[in-house]
Chains A and B, each alone.
Chain A
């Protein structure tokens, strides 16, 4: 009996050894550069996780079909190993470990959301694996001194900075009175810090500073205060639930405020879910299809929008566009490094200075992209059809900002 047990254990140990060595990948196999990614395919971030994955896949397809990546005179193609992080930071950190130590991946793409990126960054940093991420905007990601983390998007504190500055400008350079309500999460709190900075710079005053819970679905109390105190600007950031709840209750309670600035409007499909009630809302966005940035692979925003829609059957939100841009950055860095050495690729990434259809990309020492401003669009309705139109910065504006927002009684 003992002998039999011993044999079974021995055989299974060998089988296990084989099975793991068969599935392990090297960083570059044959003509393939293998990137690792954990994205949220299930759980609370699954919609945006899927946008992220589609963005990555779109870029891999495009780069591979347009000649791939040339390193050392040889042409390589991109391939991505995906895992589902279940929208769970702990799981994301585990998967980063797994990708690096088991699958032997040497280059990583980021997950969706600041929270998950925060969980993965220490792991990639520990192993010296360069990670280009496209969906973690929290400022705290870029103040930790990470050397291997690069983000193609503008940091969270810049999201609504433009809105405050625009309001001050329209007020003749005088400070404005701001009411704000932010969810209690890393991202929204960073947006809040950005507003505090902008308020200080412009001499504006913050008269309501509410915090929203993560189970938010009622912000009537904040809006009653807004009705009483009549601020010049109302700023709301609480992911899609914040945007949807704010618009619903502002319309129901007929709250009049000259400027309403928010985040996550396009993720919330605001103009579709709320129609005319969402009219005049100003929304911060990393990207919009009408911007005039250009590159060789996707041409420009409009072409990207059309191609993406053809491939996946829906218009790309900015989360998809920035994810596609991450692969363009990797391709560019590999070619400039002309090597697969992680350190050399890291240095090449740090020296990135390029234009993509998504925007200019140049990394600050902290890893955040500093050469791409945020854009603001405003929901504008013509009859029953509502559209997002870029209104700031002026360079790309396709419509003129409507300010102040007409009162409910006059609509």
Chain B
């Protein structure tokens, strides 16, 4: 194990800032997952693949000479309709069934998307260059690519917009009502079918934004979706459903955790450490639950 990250304060600061900027982006993806999970009781395994698809939209804009940052606006639009399409084709048939069926269905969608993207866009790793430059802090001992700062800022803006939308708009209220009690909402005149379709669409749109940001900051590839699914799953488990500040915090926490794991254990254990953390948290939750049950007895 390498403790270099603690020996030089500048590296510690660098790791924290990198982690926070990254975590905000993860939180955006996780928020979409939490929304869908809360409203429809569906765990979307295809979340990461939707992200990558959103990234490809930004990448193609970049190829045609449009600045990829516009992808942040265009990609969610297209992804919304793709999301609604997936809902109408597949998800509405599994939405009332148990969780296991929906996991299987979205797992299938994930494989299908991977293969289709590979078929349509090729297996090359691609990226979109934003040309945003770099910010130097602390006498240029800490460097932050502006693309990372940009993506964190955009994620925050979208998250805030979404929260306001959920609170104020009619559809937002309908979504929240359906999440609380779908049956009651239905009786009181909410068209739950529409709400479900819109929720799935909004989630896909959020993935579209995140994908566009990832194509600007990192790289995209048809098979790179799964780590994003796992991360958002994990963030949601830690934060709980319908807890936006929790999602944001646990997203940033995960980002920082990953950075430190990267420095201390090595880059090869970066994703591995996320998986390990996931297992630990699940075990811990189970432990806590069983204690509660004893108490209830």
- A interface vs B, CB < 8 Å? 42-47, 87, 181, 184, 210-213, 215-222, 224-225, 227-228, 239-241, 244-245, 248-249, 252-254, 268-269, 273-275, 277
Out of A210, A224, A245, which one reaches B219, CB within 8 Å?
A: A245
Residue among A45, A216, A221, A244 having the largest count of chain B Cβ atoms under 10 Å: A221
User: Do the beta carbons of A254 and B118 come within 8 Å of each other?
Assistant: no
Q: Is B129 an interface residue (CB 8 A)?
A: yes
Q: How far is it, in angstroms, between the C-alpha of A221 and the C-alpha of B123 when the chains are bound?
A: 26
Report which of B119, B125, B259 forms a contact with A244, defined as CB distance below 8 A.
Answer: B125
Q: Does B180 contact A (CB under 8 A)?
A: no
Checking B222, B226, B268 against A211 with a beta-carbon cut-off of 8 angstroms, the contacting residue is B268
Question: Is there contact, CB below 8 Å, between A213 and B143?
Answer: no
Closest-by-CB residue of B relative to A277 is B129
Give 10 new A-B contacts, CB below 8 A, not counting A42-B118, A218-B270.
Answer: A46-B123, A210-B267, A215-B271, A218-B262, A240-B124, A248-B219, A252-B146, A253-B145, A268-B125, A273-B129
Q: Report chain A residues within 8 Å CB of B154.
A: none
Q: Which of A47, A221, A227 contacts B263 (CB 8 A)?
A: A221
The minimal Cβ–Cβ distance linking B88 to chain A, given in whole angstroms, is 28
Q: Does B185 contact A (CB under 8 A)?
A: no
> Per-residue CB proximity of B133-147 to A under 8 Å, as 1/0?
010100000010111
Q: Given the known inter-chain contacts A43-B123, A46-B122, A274-B129, please indicate yes or no for A225 contacting B4, CB distance below 8 A.
A: yes
Q: A245-B218, A248-B127, A274-B129 are in contact. Are A44 and B223 (CB under 8 A)?
A: yes
Q: How far is the CA of A248 from the CA of B129 in the complex (A)?
A: 8
Residues of B within 8 A of A222 (CB): 267
A47:B124 contact, CB within 8 angstroms: yes
The interface of chain B, by Cβ under 8 A from chain A, is 4, 8, 11, 14-15, 18, 22, 115, 118-119, 122-127, 129, 134, 136, 143, 145-147, 218-219, 221-224, 226-227, 259, 262-263, 266-272
- What are 13 A-B contacts with C-beta separation under 8 Å? A44-B222, A45-B123, A47-B123, A213-B269, A218-B270, A220-B259, A225-B4, A227-B143, A240-B125, A248-B129, A252-B145, A253-B143, A277-B129
Closest to B225 in A: A215
Do the beta carbons of B267 and A43 come within 8 Å of each other? no
A274–B129 CA distance with the chains assembled, in angstroms: 7
Could you tell me if B124 and A217 are in contact, using CB atoms closer than 8 angstroms? no
Q: Are A217 and B129 in contact (CB under 8 A)?
A: no
Q: Which residues of B contact A46 (CB under 8 A)?
A: 118, 122-123
CB of B8 to closest CB in A, whole Å: 7
Q: Report yes or no: B123 in contact with A213, Cβ–Cβ below 8 A.
A: no
Task: Give A274 to B11 CA distance when docked, in angstroms.
Answer: 27
> Is the CB–CB distance between A44 and B118 below 8 Å?
yes
With a cutoff of 8 Å between Cβ atoms, the chain B residues found around residue A245 in the complex are 218-219
Q: Which residues of B contact A45 (CB under 8 A)?
A: 123
Q: Give Cα A23–Cα B207 distance, bound, in whole angstroms.
A: 48
A42→B119 contact, CB < 8 A: yes
Please determine whether B118 and A217 come into contact, CB atoms closer than 8 angstroms.
no
Contacts of B18 in A (CB 8 A): 220
Q: With the chains together, A386 CA to B294 CA distance in Å?
A: 69
B219–A212 CB distance below 8 A:
no
A180 to B167, CA, bound (A): 51
List of B residues within 8 angstroms of A228 by Cβ: 8, 11
Question: Contact check: which of B4, B22, B124, B267 meets A213 at CB < 8 Å?
Answer: B267
If A46-B118, A241-B221, A253-B145 touch, whether A219 touches B125 (CB-CB below 8 Å) is no
Tell me, in angstroms, the Cα distance from A212 to B263 when the chains sit together. Answer: 12
B127 and A273 form a contact (CB under 8 A): yes
Question: How near does chain A come to B55, taking the closest CB pair, in angstroms?
Answer: 11
Residues of A contacting B227 in the complex (Cβ-Cβ under 8 angstroms): 215
A256 to B4, CA, bound (A): 20
Docked pose: A96 CA to B12 CA in angstroms: 52
A228 to B127, CA, bound (A): 27
CB distance from B128 to the nearest CB of A (A): 9
User: Which of chain B's residues have a CB closer than 8 A to the CB of A210?
Assistant: 266-268
**Cβ contact within 8 Å between A184 and B268:** yes
Q: Report chain B residues within 8 Å CB of A225.
A: 4
Nearest 5 pairs between A and B by C-beta?
A: A252-B145, A211-B268, A217-B218, A221-B262, A241-B125
**B122 touching A47, Cβ below 8 Å:** yes
Docked complex Cα distance between A240 and B220 (Å): 11
Contact present for B270 and A217 (CB under 8 Å):
no
Cβ contacts under 8 Å, B271 to chain A: 213, 215
Tell whether, in the assembled complex, residue A221 and residue B145 are in contact, meaning their CB atoms are under 8 Å apart.
no
- Nearest CB in chain A to that of B272: its residue: A213
User: Which A residues are CB-close (under 8 A) to B267?
Assistant: 181, 210-213, 216, 219, 221-222
- For the complex formed, measure the closest distance between the CB of B127 and the CB atoms of chain A, giving whole angstroms: 6
Q: Are B219 and A249 in contact (CB under 8 A)?
A: no
> Do A254 and B143 touch (CB < 8 A)?
yes
Give the CA-CA distance A42 to B218 in the complex, in Å. 24
Given A225-B4, A249-B145, A252-B134: A44 and B123 within 8 A (CB)?
Answer: yes
Residue of B with least CB distance to A210? B267
Chain B residue contacts of A253, Cβ below 8 A: 134, 143, 145
State whether B127 touches A244 (Cβ < 8 A). yes
Question: Would you call A218 and B123 a contact (CB within 8 A)?
Answer: no
Contact check, A273 vs B126: say whether CB atoms are below 8 A apart. yes
- A224 is contacted by which of B14, B123, B127 (Cβ under 8 Å)? B14
B119, B125, B126, B268 — most chain A CB neighbours (10 Å): B125
A220 to B4: give the CA distance in the assembly, Å: 14
Q: How far, in whole Å, are A113 and B270 apart by their CA atoms in the complex?
A: 25
